[in-house]
A and B are shown apart, each in its own frame.
Chain A
C-alpha cells in the first residue's frame, strides 16, 4: 500500500546508545508495521531529513553510522529529545526458501538485521556474513547470535574473525553448501563483487541499494538508477532487476541530479 500522507510523526527518543565510535542506536517512542528492508525518513526538526533503514519496528529502532553533519547531530541528541519519522517506504526483502545467506557490510548490517530476526522467527536456517573494516567497527553481533543465526565475522584487517572481504567468506560458504536465497546490504563495491560471485554460482539474490535520496516518495527523481526509483521501486532489487541496472557499480546521482562514479576511483 502506498503512503499518501507524508508528514513527519514527531516523537520522543526513549533511548540512545553509542555502540562504538561510529554507530549510534536510537529507540523512538513509536511502533511501525513494515517489511524488513523498507525504510523511513527521519527528521531532525529545522535541520534536515534523511532516509534510514530500521533495525526493529517495535519500538522503532535505528542504528546509524555517524559520519556526516546530519548523523553527527543525531549523535548529540538525548533521550527525551524529539525526532520526526515518516514511512515505511519502498519495497523490502521477500523471504524465500528455507536456507538463506545474509551478507551485511559495515552499517549495511543494520539494514539486514530486521530480516535476520524475521527469517529466524519463521524457522529458516540463517547464515550471516557480517563484514567490517576492523573489529572496532563491529556492532549488533551479540543480538544476531541471540536470534539463532550462524554468524561469520570478517574484518579487512583480520582484527576479528575471518581476515578478508565478505565475498571471500561467501565463496567459502557457497563452496560447501547451497542457499535458496542470498540477501545483502553494504557498500556498493562489496555488493557489485558479490553480484559477480553469485551470478557465477547461479544463486538467486536480493540486494538493498543505496542512492542519494531526497523526497522518499517517488517525486524528485534524484534516487533514479536506470529509471528505477530506489525509494519506491527499491531499495530492494532481485537478481533479474539488478541485471537491468547498468548504472549499479558505475554511476550514482548527487544532490543536484548530476551523475558521478559510484565506486571509489581505485576500483
Chain B
C-alpha cells in the first residue's frame, strides 16, 4: 500500500488531508458536518455565525447551471448560542473545526470569536467577503474591499482570541494582494481565498424577472476555478502565511493545481452540489493516486511548484 502522507499542519491546525468543507455549504447541523468528515474531508468550516439568529433572504437563494452556481443566502444562521451543540458534536468526534464569524461591529466580532474559542473550535475564520447583504449592512464585503477596514476588523478579532485567525478574502477587488497584506499585517495567521465572484445575475426569460430573491448573487462553481487559482497564485507571491485555496474546486486535478499554485489546504463548497457529499473522499483518493503514480510521498514536494519557473 501507498506511503503517501496527505496530512497538513495548517498554522498549527493538524489536518489528516488538505480538504476542508468551505463555509456556507451545509455547515448548520453538527450531524451533517460529521457525515462530511466521515466522507473524507480533513476538516469543517461552519456556516458564518453572528450573535443573533438570522433567517436570510426569501427563496430562491440559489440556482445552478452546468457551468456555474449562484447564491444569495443572506447570512442565515442560528446565532452563537445555538451553534454550541453543533460544535460539540464535531469536537467530541475529534474533528478539526473552523468557525466563520461576522458582526455589525468589530468589537462584537471579537466577542463572538472568543465565545467560539470557548466552545473548543480550532480556528476562527473572519468573513470579510460575503457579498449578499441587505442594503446598508456594514459587514462582509463592505469591509473586505477596504484595506483599512480589513486591517481594523482583523486586529479587533485577533486580540480577542488565542487560536489561529483566518481572514477570508473577496476576489471582487482591484488588488487582492493589498488586502491580503493588510490582513497579515493586522495579525491574520492564515489567509483563505476566495469567496464568490460577482455579483452575478440570472433572469427568467418567461417573466423577464431576476430569479434570485436578492436579484444579485455570488458566483461559484467550476467556471470560477481559473479565476480563483490566479488569486491564490498572486497571494502566495505576496505573503508568508499559510493559504486555504478555494473557488470552484471540483476534481482532484483542480485540487492539485491549487496546491501547485501555493495553497496549503483547499476548501470545497459548490462541488458538494455537482459531485455529492462524497466529493471529499473522491478528491483525496484522486490526489493520492496521482501522487503515487508520479512518485511523490508528501504534499510538500508539489506545493507552490508552479512558482519555480
Which of these, B26, B65, B209, contacts A45 with CB under 8 Å?
Answer: B209
Q: Which residues of A contact B272 (CB under 8 A)?
A: 218-219
Q: Please, which residues of chain B bring their CB within 8 A of the CB of A256?
A: 53-55, 76-79
Residues in B whose Cβ lies below 8 Å from that of A57? none
Known: A7-B211, A255-B56. A220 touches B82 (CB 8 A): no
Q: Could you tell me if B26 and A10 are in contact, using CB atoms closer than 8 angstroms?
A: no
Interface size on A, residues (CB 8 A): 36
Tell me which residues across on chain A come within 8 A of B213, comparing CB atoms.
46, 48
B contact residues vs A (CB 8 Å cutoff): 25-32, 34-35, 47, 53-56, 58-66, 71, 73, 76-79, 82, 85, 202, 204, 206-207, 209-211, 213, 272-274, 276-277
Across the interface, which residues of B come within 8 angstroms of A99, CB to CB? none
Q: Which residues of B contact A226 (CB under 8 A)?
A: 31
Rounded to whole Å, the gap between the CB of A253 and the closest CB of chain B is 7
A222 to B32, CA, bound (A): 10
Which positions 28-68 of chain A face chain B at CB distance < 8 Å? 41, 43, 45-50
Question: Which B residues touch A218, using CB under 8 A?
Answer: 272-273, 276-277
> Cβ of B207: which chain A residues have Cβ within 8 Å of it?
10, 45, 82, 84
Contact between A227 and B206, CB atoms less than 8 A apart: no
Q: Let me know if A214 is at the binding interface, CB within 8 A.
A: yes
Q: Total A-B residue pairs with C-beta atoms closer than 8 Å?
A: 124
A221 touches B204 (CB 8 A): no
A82 touches B273 (CB 8 A): no
Q: A172: CB under 8 A from chain B?
A: no
- A7→B202 contact, CB < 8 A: yes
A217 interfacial contact with B, CB 8 Å: yes
Give the residues in chain A near B61, CB-CB below 8 Å.
214-215, 220
Partner of A221 from B28, B60, B276 at Cβ < 8 Å: B28
Determine the distance from Cα of A98 to Cα of B170 in the docked complex, in whole angstroms. 58
B28 near A222: Cβ-Cβ < 8 Å: yes
Nearest to A50 among chain B residues (CB) is: B59
In whole angstroms, what is the CA distance A6 to B60 when docked? 10
A167 contacts chain B at the CB level, 8 A cutoff: no
Question: A7 touching B63 by the CB < 8 A rule?
Answer: yes
A123 within 8 A of B: no
- The reply on A259 being an interface residue by CB < 8 A is yes
Q: What's the Cα separation between A255 and B272 when bound, in Å? A: 21
Could you tell me the distance in whole angstroms from the C-beta of B275 to the nearest C-beta in chain A? 9
Cα–Cα distance between A258 and B56 once the two chains are bound (Å): 13
